[in-house]
Structure 1
């Protein structure tokens, strides 16, 4: 069986692969393993697919299981020589001790990674062994689409609901790594792929030595996605480093824009977002991105559970609710408008968290990340967030059309029980912006479209001087169980509309029935009118032909 060394497809006597274009006359350049080298007694080596300062990856073939694989070889640049015609590595004499120390660290790292094979985003590691004075890692192979190509196919970015489904398993994997005491430290779009089942896989694994400056290896970092500390010699990498990487990647996925490089952000931490982009991203997600992209580690989100909660709309609402329960009057921002002007000298007013949500009225929002206190804002529109000594959701200013109490304070009106669309339009005219949870909230008691709850609650006294108000609301998506409408003797189009209005899906099954006109709906297959099934379910309707 003749295999293509470029893709491992069987090519017979062809000298050029009809699938990938690889020519059989090509030679693998030194110092990489020659084509068709056998390692471990069973693994055939093909074309190089990836190189970094620590290792080289090849496509390969398992001659025992007759399947394509990926091979990673420990190959630390500058620490070895490989003589022509040989596959054994010879450490550079004066670096021999360091070579074997790096090799052992490489092997141990991948042994630890192999423990996570059952997690969704982790490629399966089949074998790890030493040979030729090197270490080899055999990984599973599957056809994948690079994340960057996937985004191109999706129009350049993803909506949050779609991105959330893709990335939450990756957050879980990274969290598991750090509980084990290891990290990835190379989280970036170039290392993330999408499977045919629309699941993410992450690659680009390397030891910490490869992911920061100032180590013996030639480090590989990713502009816009590697954290500031990775560029500073002598800095240890921590869980916050991977949080920066995943947050920067989410920023890219949601906006289609690569964040500024860490080296530039060390000088100027600003990130620009257009209004059209801000409109697409739920407010609590904007805040989560801001926290994860902090320049200083001490100010950055410090664990994945917190990150997961911050990107959850329900958690954002819960945080507000807990704060309101603690006090009926919201705290005033510690660093107010006058202090911001006094200390920053640029007219940037530090106002309340809800102000970030008013950016839909701006042409551009400018996120400003300071080292001591994070302030997100615009220079002239006084849109900003302060996180000094408090969680983001702790400071929430609300204004309303209700009667004033003390100067500058108002009591928030009640929106519970109102129709969301009508209440939203009416509230906006009085400077109140309603933001509903992005997650469906099913409720058997409250009709669809009605507001179930609001945070802050009715009567909360707030400062009315900070501009537009943000109020988080939960809106009923109706009952989880939906009643099948009566569709007998309707046309197919009429029946389909009634079923869609009930929040259900339908397929048609045509049967011969001379008593009815062709196209008449006879009923359900396996159900009857007024049966209840879960929202989003698919039913089959019987249609006469």
Structure 2
């Protein structure tokens, strides 16, 4: 076996001569998302970056490995998509000067958040931070690799739900960790089955930490909220929408709701319009009534009336109800407002004591209330059986049964008619996902339009290519390109559907996308390579729609450097005005890397000198004598300008050595 290399997806080593990873089947490819770090990049001299795992408005997460130890890691990169761009085929971040203040502010918040998490590295329910460093004009955080699966996948593998006995065993350490985070001033805002992992040992790990602007709508960054688990106050950036520990209480209770019932909770934004969230016990009678009531209280839409702290939530969840409270819970069929719950009358449970390992005590595994409820309902049934039955009741039962049978027969007849009359409809219904048990009682009327279930985001000021990829599963973007002096190239400046309106899946949304500025001034090419001058053109406002690079056949200069610029066959100079709207092409001539020896178009012709001797005359040819320097001699810049978080500065020209290259005598 020859040399080995790392697979960019699973980070396992295999034979370098192979092109397919034998461990995971990953096929090598040069294609990758241009906005993110190319796989195979070495960061900080020790971390090999693999493929992109996930991204949001704050940054991106990659799989990676520590080359020095061979251990897998998760690499988190701060790269806010609507504030910066990346230099093509390089890991370097370029920041637009207009976004500089926001970029720095959010990066400072990102750094402080991860410093706070690093202080909690001994907590086993948070992936520890191994390293943090600044590079490529941004900040990277190295997390320990999580050996486990997302809670969402774990639930799918376990019949979609867990019992209260299972939940009461594995969730308490997570509750303790969230309480510790709140004491440290950290609010997670994204607790959901997508951010909670479960290991092979049954331990829960909390991930998905981001700056607050990513977890709040319209707060300055591309926001990412988990539908069904985000609290209502996260859908507004107003100062009146307070966020705090009660925001995470909502997420925890929504996670418990999903784990116990197998159903995703109704989105809080929809609940604000029409609250039809069913209590967990109504969906599964095995869930203890007091647990069901506490979960509903923790998902109260009013943040002030909601359970305020994790300590209060845990106390109410695991507190054994008294016999009187149990009777009240049993007798109540229609639940009042959760704010009026009797648990509010117990202030002694609000003491924030996270250190006590009281969650593991066996008395919290409580099958007794189930038994009590079952026994009491059985006694009521026994009493009812001794009551006298009159003649009307005897006739009423057969009539009801007959009507039900008639209804069933009619329903079957309708189904059979539809099966034979419209086979395409039958096929489409078979691939429909199974609805949660909450909505099984709702009859779907035939409708040719899809339900509007997605809120239209505000795309103005965001990049088209990224937005198209981000929202491709919800709606389709149809782009109309035009020049715009106020927006960068590929940036959306108008959308046909206003932000906040509801869309159906697959709906087409027309957007106007900027092709860049309508006019610009041609930047200086002195000493710049092809890649450097492309960046200079882009920054000047001349997009790739309006320029082309052509190899020069007769110009002198360093390989791969720009030597001349023309428009419509006429030479132009740096700082000349250029109109993007006129449809003219800016032709940039450069010297190829594979070009032959320099040709001196301005050199004097070869001179011959006769040397007279007594013997036969010998004629020798001297080397060409350069009478003047070439017209376009240029030296490349030894240190190419890196995009930095400072105002763009002009490129300094290097001194030109006159007539040195190519002037030596040929041997």
After TM superposition, the score normalised by the length of structure 1 is: 0.61
CA distance in 2: counterparts of 1:389 and 1:161, whole angstroms: 24
Residue in 2 that maps onto 1:251: 257
Offset at 1:313? 3.5
Q: 1:431 to 1:57 in 2, by over 3 A?
A: same
**Corresponding position: 1:180 with 2:184:** yes
**Corresponding position: 1:298 with 2:298:** no
Query: SS of the counterpart of 1:2?
Result: strand
CA distance in 2: counterparts of 1:311 and 1:186, whole angstroms: 21
Residue in 1 that maps onto 2:102: 98
Query: SS of the counterpart of 1:189?
Result: coil
Give 1:28's match in structure 2, choosing from 29, 32, 38. 32
Following TM superposition, where does structure 1 have runs of at least 4 consecutive aligned residues deviating by more than 3 angstroms?
273-278, 352-356, 383-394, 419-432
Residue in 2 that maps onto 1:202: 206
CA distance in 2: counterparts of 1:202 and 1:34, whole angstroms: 27
Show CA shifts across 1:318-340 (max 9, x none). Answer: xx8xxx9xxxxxxxxxxxxxxxx
Offset at 1:28? 2.2
Alignment of 1:452-491 (within 5 A): none
Q: 1:73 to 1:146 in 2, by over 3 A?
A: same
> Is there any run of 5+ residues in structure 1 with no aligned partner, and where?
325-351, 360-376, 395-418, 433-545
**Corresponding position: 1:221 with 2:225:** yes
CA distance in 2: counterparts of 1:31 and 1:420, whole angstroms: 56
RMSD of aligned residue pairs (Cα, Å): 2.7
1:386–1:392: 8 Å Cα contact kept in structure 2? no
CA distance in 1: counterparts of 2:105 and 2:64, whole angstroms: 27
Residue in 2 that maps onto 1:38: 42
1:353–1:385: 8 Å Cα contact kept in structure 2? no
Offset at 1:278? 3.4
Q: 1:283 to 1:390 in 2, by over 3 A?
A: closer
Residue in 1 that maps onto 2:269: 263
Alignment of 1:132-531 (within 5 A): 132-234=136-238, 235-273=241-279, 277-314=283-320, 316-317=321-322, 354-358=327-331, 378=334, 383-384=335-336, 387-388=339-340, 391-392=343-344, 427-428=376-377
Show CA shifts across 1:301-329 (max 9, x none). Answer: 00111011011033x44xx8xxx9xxxxx
Range that drifts further, 84-93 or 44-53: 84-93
Asked which structure has the greater CA Rg, the reply is 2
CA distance in 1: counterparts of 2:168 and 2:135, whole angstroms: 42
Residue in 1 that maps onto 2:662: none
Query: SS of the counterpart of 2:189?
Result: coil
Query: SS of the counterpart of 1:72?
Result: strand
CA distance in 1: counterparts of 2:156 and 2:233, whole angstroms: 30
Residue in 2 that maps onto 1:404: none
Query: SS of the counterpart of 2:75?
Result: strand
Q: 1:313 to 1:275 in 2, by over 3 A?
A: closer
Offset at 1:16? 1.1
2:9–2:50: 8 Å Cα contact kept in structure 1? yes
CA distance in 1: counterparts of 2:74 and 2:185, whole angstroms: 25
Query: SS of the counterpart of 1:215?
Result: coil
**Corresponding position: 1:56 with 2:60:** yes
Residue in 2 that maps onto 1:4: 7
Q: 1:71 to 1:422 in 2, by over 3 A?
A: closer
CA distance in 1: counterparts of 2:369 and 2:85, whole angstroms: 70
Residue in 2 that maps onto 1:74: 78
Show CA shifts across 1:154-206 (max 9, x none). Answer: 11100011112221111111111111111111101111111010111121110
Q: 1:425 to 1:77 in 2, by over 3 A?
A: closer
Show CA shifts across 1:415-465 (max 9, x none). Answer: xxxx99998776445559xxxxxxxxxxxxxxxxxxxxxxxxxxxxxxxxx
Query: SS of the counterpart of 1:116?
Result: coil
1:356–1:384: 8 Å Cα contact kept in structure 2? no
Query: SS of the counterpart of 2:171?
Result: helix
